[in-house]
Amino acid sequence: MNIGAKNKIDASFSMASMTDLIFLLLIFFMLTSSFVTPSGLPVNLPSSKASSIEVQKVSVTVTKGLQYYVNDKKVTKATLEGELKSRLGGAGGSVILHIDKDVASEHLVYVAGLATSMEAKVVIATKPK
């Protein structure tokens, strides 16, 4: 007499739905992490009401001690123009200015003038109110 169960239960587990979920989470975090690129330099940015997110290609930072940085690389005021030309190429692009709020506006105008002479879009970084 054969008394055993006729329907055997399969003990295997399908991981297809779990891998889909992990893949979607990976894509989500990769996309959202590329939108915000914080500057690692100690700069006290001015605040403003209106702000938008700009993709950061070239970043120019002027600290309170009047030190110039292009994409976290320290440069002098004399070599700033050459460094901007090499970073922008000849295609223009955008330059994000991280200027300390205690720095005189003449330094902001100097850097913005260099960037616009290279046909680059100039954006001033601020912190939201």
Whether residue 66 has pLDDT greater than 80 = yes
- d(C-alpha 68, C-alpha 32), whole Å: 29
| 41 in a structural domain | no
- Each residue's pLDDT tens digit, 13-57: 777 788 888 999 999 888 877 665 555 666 766 666 666 665 667
Number of other residues whose CB lies within 10 A of the CB of residue 43: 19
Which pLDDT value is given to residue 39?
Answer: 56
C-alpha torsion angle, residues 118, 120, 124, 125 (rounded to 10): -120
Instruction: Please tell me whether the overall predicted TM-score, pTM, comes out greater than 0.85 for this model.
Output: no
| 16 in a structural domain | no
| 81 in a structural domain | yes
- d(C-alpha 44, C-alpha 68), whole Å: 14
> What are the structure tokens assigned to 33, written together?
């992490």
Which pLDDT value is given to residue 24?
Answer: 92
Cβ pair 62, 103 in contact under 8 A: yes
| Between residues 60 and 129, the one the model is more confident about | 60
| 56 in a structural domain | yes
| 7 in a structural domain | no
| 6 in a structural domain | no
Total structural domains within the chain: 1
- d(C-alpha 21, C-alpha 19), whole Å: 5
The domain containing residue 120 runs over which residues? 47-128
Whether residue 70 has pLDDT greater than 60 = yes
Pairing state of beta strands 58-62 and 94-99? parallel
| 27 in a structural domain | no
The band of 120, judged by pLDDT with boundaries at 50, 70 and 90, is confident
The band of 4, judged by pLDDT with boundaries at 50, 70 and 90, is low
| 20 in a structural domain | no
CATH of the domain at 82: 3.30.420
- d(C-alpha 14, C-alpha 66), whole Å: 60
